């Protein structure tokens, strides 16, 4: 059954008026008919069986709670601002993979298009619908790298290209990962020498590698998160 | 230094005429000047220091061999034909990550755009230049899933969504991976029930998971290859 995100409170066995955009999408894009069954989630209350009961007025009736809302997690992706397409893909893929917080980070070599929060929220919602996750990652306001490092609660695993070039995987193994930890992915072109120095000497930073090749931002995000979660599970 | 692919034999301390497209790219897009130094590779002979010695006639002089050609490997990605954008991204990302053979596979739920080999070759070349790998993956002609399975030389790790839903990682650990093994990623919408049955009972197939969420094709390729190489190294 199709999973759809809705930004309003959900409770089993109640009737709701769908917000206008969602009602349009359901009838015009997805072409649901009266009586069509689907599932709704809002990132807070769980997953609810839903029936479209009144197309004209966009009314839906919630049935049972099919899945309880999972407990909030705290894994974070610190993602250097970079060109729109790559940033969009990275945000989508991080959502699919289950990251909980996304912190856009300003760096010296960032060549960002303007960060359009609304577009990114849509990307996040659609990715969550698609991959059937019940929580949405929180997209935080962008901030300088230095501020992000100061405010981080756990360790930050930095995918450092120079570790990759040494053809090692760095310190993944020797640093037990906790749910407050995060992953840092630099911009296209990498970090500046000054930034690299700051990162290398920073107490919260753990230098890790992602393999021997230089990866584009979106690929680095996927490979990095994969490895990050492996170490959470280990 | 910029890495550029060229499809002709390379030998240290010789002079070559650059093919027309590459000569144009070097002067018009990259804006190299007379005397500019860069590196060339052809996927067969290694990495060569190069100087642009005659812009007018597109002549370049090769210096030393900077890196020997690595020995050919045999890791394979079996990738279901799917919409162009997703397929293109998956091919680029597989190249960045170091896969050696890409086998496009016809499946029941494949909704392929026409497979444009020329465009994919360009994507592969640019990705290899970007990530500084010296070999290019070989893009094989597309073939039915059944044929691909018959002709595979090693085991094929199939990223099976039902394994993911069981919230396990399947059999990655229990099957030592060799360089002849491959990874199989299905189309958007997954495999058909018939195909799933074939795969589950096939001697070469090893069912594995990629985590608890349903991943888009490009994300599945990255996560899958990451895990695949982890097990090659282990």
Contact predicate B13/B31, CB 8 Å? no
Q: How many helices (H) and strands (E) does chain B have?
A: 7, 12
pLDDT tier, A166 (very low <50, low <70, confident <90, very high otherwise): low
A222 with B227: Cβ contact below 8 A: no
- The percent of residues in chain B predicted with pLDDT above 90, rounded, is 74
- Could you tell me whether strands B37-41 and B76-80 are parallel, antiparallel, or unpaired per DSSP bridges? unpaired
| Helix pair A84-97, A117-131: axis angle to 10 deg | 40
CA distance B57 to chain A (A): 32
pLDDT, greater one: B166 or A157: A157
Report the distance separating Cα A52 and Cα A62, nearest Å: 9
pLDDT tens digits along B205-215: 999 988 888 89
Q: Report the DSSP pairing between strands A101-106 and A76-80.
A: parallel
pLDDT at B26 over 90: yes
Q: What are phi and psi of B119, to 5 degrees?
A: -65, -40
Q: Which residues of A touch B223 (CB under 8 A)?
A: 97, 222-223, 225-226
Return d(Cα B21, Cα B194) in angstroms, integer. Answer: 46
The β-bridge relationship of strands B182-185 and B156-159 is parallel
Q: How far is B89 from chain A (nearest CA, A)?
A: 10
Give which of A226, A230, A232, A234 to mutate to test B binding, by max B Cβ within 10 Å. A226
Domain architecture of chain A: domains with CATH: 3-67 (2.40.240.20), 76-233 (3.40.1280.10)
Cα-based distances in Å from B228 to A45, A82, A160, A173: 36, 28, 21, 18
What is the gyration radius of the CA atoms in chain B, in angstroms? 20
Per-residue pLDDT tens digits for A82-102: 988 999 999 999 999 999 999
Q: How far is B152 from chain A (nearest CA, A)?
A: 26
Find the chain B residues whose C-beta atoms sit closer than 8 A to any C-beta of A.
89, 92-93, 96-98, 130-133, 211-216, 218-219, 222-223, 225-227, 229-230
Radius of gyration over every alpha carbon of chain A, rounded to an integer in angstroms = 20
Using a CB–CB cut-off of 8 Å, the residues of A that contact B are 89, 92-93, 96-98, 130-133, 211-216, 218-219, 222-223, 225-227, 229-230
Are A215 and B98 inside 8 Å of each other by CB? no
Annotate A20-42 with b (16+ C-beta within 10 A) or e (fewer). eebbeebbeeeebeeebebbbbb
Q: Give the range among A46-55, A163-172, B215-224 with minimum mean pLDDT.
A: A163-172
Average pLDDT for B116-131: 94
B218, B86 Cβ separation under 8 angstroms: yes
Whole-number average pLDDT of chain B: 91
> What is the structure's pLDDT at B177?
79
Beta carbons of B211 and A229 less than 8 Å apart: yes
Q: Token pair of A107, please?
A: 């760096």
Nearest CA in chain A to B98: A213
Enumerate the residues of chain B whose CB falls inside 8 A of the CB of residue A213. 96-98, 131-133
Nearest chain B residue to A94 by CA distance is B219
Q: Kindly report the nearest CA distance between residue B65 and chain A, in angstroms.
A: 19
Residues of chain A contacting residue B226, judged by C-beta atoms under 8 Å apart: 211, 222-223, 226-227
pLDDT at B170 over 90: no
Alpha-carbon distance B15 to B11, whole Å?
Answer: 9
CB contact under 8 A, B223 and A218: no
Cβ of A215 within 8 Å of Cβ of B96? The answer is yes
* pLDDT above 90 (res A75): yes
* Residue found under tokens 């910029």: B2
| Residue in A73, A86, A211 to test binding to B, most B beta-carbons within 10 Å | A211
pLDDT at B234 over 80: no
CB contact under 8 A, A213 and B92: no
Distances, alpha carbon B15 to alpha carbons A104, A209, B5, B28, B42, in Å: 47, 38, 16, 21, 15
Q: What value does the mean pLDDT take over residues A23-29?
A: 92
Q: Does B93 contact A219 at a Cβ distance shorter than 8 Å?
A: yes
- Measured between beta carbons, which residues in chain A are less than 8 angstroms from residue B212? 98
Q: Which ranges of B19-144 does DSSP label H, i.e. alpha helix?
A: 20-24, 84-97, 117-131
| ipTM here | 0.86
Which of B128, B211, B221, B234 to mutate to probe the A interface, most A CBs <10 Å? B211
pLDDT digits (tens, 9 = 90+) for B58-73: 999 999 999 999 888 8
């Amino acid at each position: 059954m199709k999973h759809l995100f809705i930004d309003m409170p959900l409770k089993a066995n109640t009737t709701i008026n769908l917000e206008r955009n969602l009602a349009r999408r359901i009838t015009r894009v997805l072409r649901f008919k009266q009586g069509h069954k689907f599932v709704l989630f809002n990132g807070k209350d769980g997953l609810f069986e839903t029936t479209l009961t009144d197309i004209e007025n966009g009314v839906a009736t919630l049935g049972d709670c099919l899945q309880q809302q999972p407990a909030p997690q705290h894994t974070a992706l610190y993602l250097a601002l970079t060109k729109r397409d790559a940033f969009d893909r990275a945000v989508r893929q991080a959502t699919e993979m289950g990251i909980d917080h996304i912190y856009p980070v300003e760096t010296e070599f960032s060549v960002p298009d303007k960060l359009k929060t609304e577009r990114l929220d849509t990307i996040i919602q659609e990715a969550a619908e698609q991959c059937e996750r019940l929580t949405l990652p929180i997209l935080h306001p962008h901030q300088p790298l230095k501020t992000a490092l100061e405010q981080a609660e756990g360790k930050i695993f930095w995918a450092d290209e120079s570790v990759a070039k040494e053809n090692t995987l760095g310190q993944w193994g020797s640093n037990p990962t906790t749910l407050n930890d995060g992953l840092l992915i630099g911009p296209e072109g990498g970090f500046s020498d000054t930034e690299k120095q700051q990162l290398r000497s920073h107490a919260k930073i753990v230098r890790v590698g992602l393999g021997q090749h230089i990866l584009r931002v979106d690929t680095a995000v996927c490979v990095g998160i994969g490895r990050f979660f492996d170490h959470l599970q280990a």
